[in-house]
Structure 1
Amino acid sequence: MSALTDQELVAACLAGRESAYALLVERYTPRLHRIAARICRHPEDAEDAVQEAFLQAVRDLRKWKPTAPLEAWLVTITVRTAQKVDQRSNRIASRSDSLDAPHPDGNQRELRDQGSSTDPATAAGRADLSSRLAAAIADLPDKYRAAVTLRFQEGLSPKEIAEHLGLPERTVRTHLLRGLRALKESVGDLK
């Protein structure tokens, strides 16, 4: 069954075949989870977002247009769901956290490896930079974090990001610019 095209897979899901739904989840979960993990500040929120996104996708499967890639449609649902889950989680956390509590940065998302080095000082510096950058990305406002994540960690163009987020391309470019400025201020000198 794994050789099914997206159209065949959707048709099988709509026909009620549980194995088709299982294949849909198996086929797309890794990428969708990676995206949600970069948007949500907590790993458990990313898992919740992916589950909610799949439930939403199954409910709306008849709305998918076969002229568009299924993966792009699922990514759009996942990005929007992850933003909602993250906002909901942060509202709950802000009500229960004390003012002097440290920022909950339990989700140290791994950034793409920029190369390896055998020099311990270089490796330590790279690990520190990666940690600072991950924390800075997690602290970005939702709209900037989503745009930066999709652009630099998923490699999407501003036009593709605009389609996924349902925003004008110029707005996405503004979010990218402001997000990068905020990262530069937050991380400081990258050397």
Structure 2
Amino acid sequence: MEEDLQWVREVLAGNKQAYAHIINKYKNPLYATILRMTRNPQDAQDFVQDAFLKVYHQLGKYKETGSFSSWLYRVAINHCMDEFRKKRYHSTQVELGEEQVIDSNHPEVVFLKKEKHRQLERLLATLPEDERLIMLLRYANELSYDEISELTDVPLSTVRNKLHRAKKKMRDTVKREGGYFHELSNDR
């Protein structure tokens, strides 16, 4: 976090090259979050680029009281939500390629990871947008409940409730449609 503050201060002092450090640190986790929101790799790339431009132009508004990562995610997710509200964006689900999902080349591992990923994506797609976003922030981006609350402007108790409800809905879907998703039984 201190490293982030140093880079922000350098950018604000005129060192535009320091912004590359911020982009390199956050581009992959931000892309993963936005990809799960849009379910379209090309749109996710465009939204990430737009979000980094927006963050750059709003960097002077960042108050050093909260974590920089939470602020960055808030700007990026708000940008996406604005695009959704403008109805300029229509989600079309695209099957993610194997290389985007796994690292191992073993056929059995490839198959199992791909199937697990497909099941998780289907389960997430059944959730309302607000619950899906909170699940992604918690489990894909590993943010704390407090960070999610700060990022989404949702009270901490509501974040906990939405996570609980989302996991319950996903578990119920797995039970109803068959199969077992081990991670849903772990209460992290």
- Structure 1 residue 24: Cα displacement: 2.6
Aligned pair partner of 2:114 in 127, 135, 140:
127
- Could you state the TM-score of these two structures normalised by the residue count of structure 1? 0.72
Show the 5 A alignment for 1:137-152. Answer: 137-152=124-139
**Residue 136 in structure 1 maps to residue 123 in structure 2:** yes
CA RMSD of aligned residues (A): 3.3
- 1:108–1:134 CA contact under 8 A, matched in 2: no
Counting aligned pairs with the same residue, the percent is 29
- Rg larger in structure: 1
Q: Cα deviations across residues 124-155 of structure 1 (Å, max 9, x unaligned)?
A: 45533431221221342210111111122222
Letter in 2 for 1:189: G
Task: Show the counterpart of 1:16.
Answer: 14
- Structure 1 residue 71: Cα displacement: 2.0
Letter in 2 for 1:153: A
Q: Aligned partners of 1:153 and 1:5: how far apart in 2?
A: 22
| Structure 2 unaligned spans of 5+ | 181-188
The change in CA–CA distance for 1:87 and 1:109 in structure 2 (over 3 A counts) is: farther
Greater RCO, CA 8 A, separation 6+: 1
Q: Cα deviations across residues 21-68 of structure 1 (Å, max 9, x unaligned)?
A: 333322321222222222222112222222222222222212212233
- Could you state the TM-score of these two structures normalised by the residue count of structure 2? 0.73
Task: Show the counterpart of 1:61.
Answer: 59
Which shifted more, 164-173 or 71-80? 71-80
Q: Aligned partners of 1:57 and 1:17: how far apart in 2?
A: 15
Q: Cα deviations across residues 55-84 of structure 1 (Å, max 9, x unaligned)?
A: 222222122122333222112222333334
